[in-house]
Amino acid sequence: MSQKRCFSYVRFSTSEQAAGDSLRRQTELARRWAAANGFVLDESLTLRDLGVSAFKGANMRSGNALNEFHRAIEQGTVTSGDVLLLESLDRLSRDKPRQALRALERIVEAGVDVVTLLDNKRYTASSLDGLDLMMALVTMLRAHDESATKSVRAKAAIAALDARFANSAHGPVRHIRPGRKLPYWISRASDGRVHVDRRRGALVARTVRLYLSGASLEQIARASALGWTKLYVSRLLRQVARLPRPGRAVTAWPIPITPDDRARLARLLVSRSNSSGRPSTVADNLLVGLGKCGVCGARLRATSYKRTSKIYRYFVCTGQKPDNGTAPRPCKGPASFPYLPPVAAISTFFIDAAHANAILARTPDAGLAVVKARQHAERCAKHALDAFHAVEAAPSAALAKLYVDAQAAAAAAQSAVHTAEERARWAPRKALQQLRDAASDRDVNLALRELCTDIRVTSTGPLTGKLRISLRIGTPLEFVYKGKYSHEPA
């Protein structure tokens, strides 16, 4: 006797979702259902529409996975008695309810049942002749309305922004998306209009003049007295010059300089980026985006200087103003201190097995979040079950809508449980394993970002100091480091 087969159809709408948890979550739900119900999850068909919208039926067109599934039914590869697994009905379609219902009927009329995994509902040809038809229609109507509302709002916002800048003296602004972060020199008024901020615009214009006069990025960063870095100054200048960045469209924001200065700046940036210079002998900053001064909380910047045949590396607190002899330093800590001792202490601390176990033991908040998420999911599931019994006792459109809303809330709560469980179980372990396997400072930094929110360093001497590491989950870690000062060969 052949074992029963099931197929998993996975879909999400945008390519950005590939970096999230959607693919893993949908795949894991399908595997759990197959194991719990005695089915074999057949993966001979690749039923994945990744980055394909179902709002206007794109996933049903030729070349996409759902269309290939229909062809497999017609060719006999998928037969009566097989089951198609979906996370929810909106993965199948977000098209108009009648079109979405036709897509569902086309599958079940071939003898292939459809199971939605979040609510564990099974749709068959016979069940769609009863109450399930109403449930499916209400679910499809809600899914289509959600997508239609998002589409209308996004188009209206983009049209309004395009119209707002159509007659700008600096040219029309295109490809603006709602919620986009504005450039440093742009301010948004209470009515939504954007304009060049007078103070920041003057600072940017001064920055451009310094760069055109021959100042280096490092000199400009120091002169700003705002904690800027060379990388930030470089990106700021490229924004002003409207030079494209990889994978991003250029937006013609109003700029605080003349067109001639913009053209000169663009030519200078391009010529310097194309020139070949000496390769850097200094590794990346291991604590970039994480390191902060333990005294004032300002960002730590890594710097270096060369003397004879040695390169000496230091951390510099950006809370220190330039030492011009007129203004007191706002930070009472040292202006700079050696780079290697705290970095070596951090690297060895996380790799040590005893410390790793201590980190995992310091995450009770994650377990509490799982408990709370499960309790909320149980309440939502009970509410959905009560609503379903009410619909069975007295079928009506109002009660059916109430049930669908309760069903959606229960599905969202169950998804939150999966997320909380995954975070509590895997996030610290995964980051610690990445730290052990890291082959470069960049790899270490990425793993630390997954594990920590910031690392505060308080130097008490050339070789000693205190570290306070704020974990993403659980209580902070504090310890003292003592390291031998060393140098890097040139």
Domains of the chain are 5-149 (3.40.50.1390), 186-274 (no CATH), 284-490 (no CATH)
**Structural tokens at position 142:** 């809600």
The larger pLDDT score, comparing residue 284 to residue 134, is at: 134
Are 291 and 448 a contacting pair, CB within 8 Å?
A: no
Quickly list H helices, 213-255. Answer: 217-224, 230-241
Q: What is the mean pLDDT of residues 157-186?
A: 54
pLDDT tens for residues 286-316?
888 888 998 888 888 888 877 777 778 888 8
pLDDT tens for residues 342-386?
888 887 777 776 767 766 665 555 566 777 888 888 888 788 778
pLDDT tens for residues 96-140?
888 888 999 999 999 999 999 888 889 999 988 887 888 888 888
pLDDT of residue 207: 87
What's the length of the chain?
490
The larger pLDDT score, comparing residue 243 to residue 401, is at: 401
The larger pLDDT score, comparing residue 276 to residue 106, is at: 106
pLDDT of residue 225: 65
Say if strands 10-12 and 48-50 run parallel, antiparallel, or are unpaired: parallel
**Structural tokens at position 182:** 């504005």
Mean pLDDT (the chain, rounded)? 77
- Confidence band (pLDDT; 50, 70, 90) for 34? very high
The larger pLDDT score, comparing residue 101 to residue 394, is at: 101
pLDDT tens for residues 193-224?
677 888 888 888 888 888 888 888 888 887 77
Torsion angle (degrees, nearest 10) of CA 51, 52, 56, 57: -160
pLDDT of residue 244: 59
Q: What is the mean pLDDT of residues 132-150?
A: 83
pLDDT of residue 282: 44
- Please say if the pLDDT value at position 326 is more than 60: no
pLDDT-wise least confident of 26-30, 108-112, 435-439: 435-439
